[in-house]
Structure 1
């Protein structure tokens, strides 16, 4: 029989043996940098307390009450004898004051600020906001920093994902990790705001390029038995990156030093990444048998096994032109190459598939949207912003363990739907909590993040199983587009906290709850073989075909 052959490599050489483990932890180490750069802006654009600076030299200062340290309670006097009242974006001149008193009920002349501000440097010594005065009418520039970054993420994923199929995975891993290092350090020396945003846009492109390709790389290097775990735990490295940001932000309060330190975190990776091998799947797909043979021998030697595999035996009778088809083919045999070119419309082939696709896209969207609203918004929750961000990263690590365990035990749907419903409920509860109990707000927010992370980590695999081979990569690709749309929208949602502190959480809560209910309508795919045709995929979960299986499952449960 023409069994799917390349998978045999792992049966011979181990699904996750010594060689793969070393390689895996090395590439995942660099994935920490992606988490770092995605969230670095939280402290880069931190706006401290500030007031408008009065025109002239200050001779005398009157405090409203001695305990207050807020800048707005200060009343300065100038040499010429003017008294100014300061507020954030304008200052008011008291007209003809009789005496120097704090309270004043006479006339005032209000004037807009002329671009000089006094910042409170107790918390943040220097951020890009204090450096380039991104406040008042320039405040929107500071807010544009994260959305432009996320746009770079979207474009980078498209560009690098495509190139990696042409020139190989390893070259892209090398180029993007070098890019992360170079652009990361360059951002610190950007000198003006527009150049800063441009460099961060490039940084976003290479970071997301690395993240996309590293998923493919670890999937192609590890056997089918450990694939769930290996792909899930790339996310865990991302979470470690978030924790690194919180720690560095706490220790270093000058933005450009902070940026340099963050960029240097994973620089050791550059010393050994040029030694990485190309994946066996890619070599076979390109028909480079000799290289593949050398690689297989090397893996076998390193794993202390004898290599009995011949690379040319693994090739299909007709060479598949696409390595991805091999990679995602778990079924027993390869279908004949279809002549019909499939497009995104095939995801909406029937009412049933259309409903499925909309739900899957919604899960991708809320996964990413909720993820970034919780991560970026954790600094607005009250309490210590550094601890909050650290927790937002830390709470993710157990969520992947729970998710991995649950999806293999109780099923994909039965893990995803409750997770989304839990996130929804946690967010709704935030609103009814009395605002003086900060700890409870943080706990509920972290519960939401925990639940969303479970759904987000699981959807990748669930999508693969819901669609047939012929449109599988299209389904995953379009899903991850939705997820990037979510990440572009998320920063804008976080800024709604200015309207009402918990508005972002409310929005996520309502969406997560609705989508969680929709998820209950999807078919369960645990223990089902991967489908190859649209018909088979459509039949998933229909009562006729697997009524028996359903009953068996229920009796087991």
Structure 2
């Protein structure tokens, strides 16, 4: 059949469209509202607006968590996402839909990141790793695997939006159940409130905080701060700034590989829902593995080692024909990238001092969003040279490893409470540290103010 003449006059479809529900076996917002042909641009535009919301929301709620507390930021981010998700169902056009997706995007990362930070700030050194990674493996990993099949079972995008949005209202009960971070309270000179929370937790646990421990804590609060504890200190401190730049490059590179492998898997010939499930399934073993070995092998080994293996697998898969073997290699590579990213997230959270922990973590996650924005273009470049995406992902993996080597090891160490402690941690625990003699180290468990471990 010959193609039509290029000069043929185009006319609008007079009777609407009929869609084949083959890849997605249920109505979507695209099919319901006819966002095809001259309206096809609505889809990427809405996605872009969503990610713009993610960028702004991550920075805003990170600042809010450091300025007004972890609990208000956690509740606020989830409520905005709930409002945006529910309101999406009642939209009629494009711009009201896009605005609602912008609201949901505001809370994309903050909804769980702030809770993650609170867990790390409350849990003691010995239990920090398995609590943080084990909970993510169970709740995030399992829910991600179930999500596509729940969508198929419901068979309606509006009902699916309600199902995934309304449960966020549960966060209204957070202030009555989860206490504010005592580390944050201490950093804001609110020691009296921190003491009340300590006593409350001790009562619930059937324990009593020893008097000398409480006295040490109160004495540490009375000590004058020797450095700026505002967010500006993150940029004014040479040590913290260099460390953050290295962490951002590492996280952005690893995120491009992580996101790119998901997008690339859609072009490897398997069912979309199956690929999403298998990719999500890599979360569980990756996080559970970290929970058991991160405190044995260290952050540096488990951030660098897996990402190097992922790079090797990507380079090897680049020169294979499309098929099962290439899919297997990319899924295994994603498992290793997942492990490295999770280790890196916990690692950087442990490096950042309490006054800037939420904001610094937000900046890190925003860099990941930027990395994810570039990955579709890398995948698209594969149309011109098939091996290019996987080869570039391999190179990015090696870059992430190199940057991670510049970060200080935090295994077995308490979280730095002040900017000064954060700088000392970087100086003494980096691979290329200034002070190679461990007997002269001043940042250790005994020298910090972490006297109460919950």
State TM-score, norm by structure 2.
0.78
- CA distance in 2 between counterparts of 1:108 and 1:524 reads 63
Contact 1:467 1:537 in 2 (8 A): no
Give the aligned partner of residue 207 of structure 1.
108
Identify the structure with the greater strand proportion: 1
Residue 446 of structure 1 and its aligned partner are, at CA, apart by 1.4
Match in the other structure for 2:162: 260
Richer in helix (by share)? 2
Aligned positions, number:
427
Structure 1 counterpart of 2:253: 366
Which of the pair has the greater relative contact order for Cα pairs under 8 Å at 6+ separation? 2
- The answer to whether the Cα contact below 8 Å between 1:368 and 1:486 also exists between their aligned partners in 2 is yes
Residues 528 and 430 (structure 1 numbering): CA distance in 2 closer, same or farther, change over 3 Å? Answer: same
Q: 1:140 to 1:246 in 2, by over 3 A?
A: same
How far apart are 1:306 and its partner, in Å? 4.1
Aligned to 1:121: 21
Which string of whole-angstrom CA distances, capped at 9 and with x for unpartnered residues, describes residues 9-42 of structure 1?
xxxxxxxxxxxxxxxxxxxxxxxxxxxxxxxxxx
Alignment of 1:443 with 2:343, yes or no, is no
Report the 3-state secondary structure (helix = DSSP H, G, I; strand = E; otherwise coil) of the residue aligned with 2:285: helix
Aligned to 1:150: 51
- Shift in CA distance, 411/375, structure 1 to aligned 2, threshold 3 Å: same
The answer for the alignment partner of 2:399 in structure 1 is: 514
Q: Does 1:225 align with 2:126?
A: yes
Unaligned stretches of 5+ in structure 1? Answer: 1-84, 93-106, 321-333, 550-557
Q: CA deviation at 1:248?
A: 2.0
Which structure 2 residue ranges, 5 or more long, are not aligned? 440-454
**Alignment of 1:483 onto 2:381:** no
* Within-5 A mapping of 1:100-499: 110-112=8-10, 114-115=12-13, 116-122=16-22, 123-233=24-134, 235-236=136-137, 237-264=139-166, 266-267=167-168, 269-270=170-171, 272-276=173-177, 277-286=179-188, 291-306=193-208, 313=215, 316-317=218-219, 319=221, 336-338=225-227, 342=233, 344=235, 346-347=237-238, 354=242, 358-435=245-322, 437=323, 439-463=324-348, 476=361, 478-493=363-378
After superposition, give the CA deviation of every residue in 1:262-297 in whole Å (9 maximum; x if it has no partner): 324x35735743522333334445555665455334
Give the aligned partner of residue 24 of structure 1.
none
For 2:77 and 2:354, locate their aligned partners in 1 and report how far apart those are by CA, in whole Å. 29
Judge conservation of contact 1:344–1:474 (CA < 8 Å) in 2: no
Deviation of 1:157 after TM superposition, in Å, equals 1.3
Hey, what's the Cα distance between the residues in 1 that align with 2:359 and 2:76?
A: 25
2:351–2:422: 8 Å Cα contact kept in structure 1?
A: no
Normalised to the residue count of structure 1, the TM-score between the two structures is: 0.65
